[in-house]
Amino acid sequence: MPKVDFSLYLITARNVLPADKDLLDALRAALQGGARCIQLREKEMAAADLLVLARDVRALTREFDARLLINSNIDLALECQADGVHLGISSPSVAAARRRLGKDAIIGFSAHSLDDLHSAEREGADFVTFSPIYFTPSKAAYGAPQGVGKLREFCRNASIPVFALGGIKLERVTEVLDAGAAGVALISAILAQSDPESATRDFLQRLHTAGNI
């Protein structure tokens, strides 16, 4: 079985949750809807609180036979027995993560250029996200949207799966898959919704349909 056997990559962000929603409840709903890989990305949390949360999310993902990746923190990934990590330019290197986590760990990388992609490939990343494809406030710091044309060029040059990230809405799934993406990485499209379970089901259905056209 390939390591990257999912097409929907859910990234956490407590700040997008509706006021009446708890992160664990929202993640449970998404898992009930079919999500099978979650990246825990809560950079503002204190280390002790993050460890507690990571252990809770690990237990939840195990309940659903889903994968858990930890953003940047290799020590935390080891401590909570996560399936791997998701790294970026300011994180430890992919090679360093591979040495510590082993050959079976899943390692993702946040790429914003072809140089980022090729570096991640050389060091042994299993997949990359490419962003932002469309405008989204959470990715505004990374500059103007890349657009579908750049996504297509990026995917053409990639030897590992590419997940489109940034402003991905249900109606945009088909065009990003047509551009070569292996799947979509989502934050608000799932976690900001009143019904994360239904939102997840809708995306997975669209991914399945678009992937079989």
Ordered DSSP codes for 172-210: GHHHHHHTT-SEEEESHHHHTSS-HHHHHHHHHHHHHHH
End-to-end distance of the chain based on CA atoms, in angstroms?
A: 23
Annotated active-site residue 41? The verdict is: yes
Omega of the bond leading into 132 within 30 degrees of 0 (cis):
yes
Residue tagged active-site, from 7, 28, 58, 110:
110
Residue tagged active-site, from 28, 36, 98, 139:
139
For residue 193, list its beta bridge partners: none
Q: Alpha-carbon torsion 26, 27, 28, 31, what sign?
A: positive
CA distance 94 to 120: 7
Please state the separation of Cα 52 from the chain's center in Å: 21
Annotated active-site residue 131? The verdict is: no
Residue tagged active-site, from 14, 41, 55, 172:
41
Annotated active-site residue 139? The verdict is: yes
Which are the catalytic amino acids? 41, 110, 139
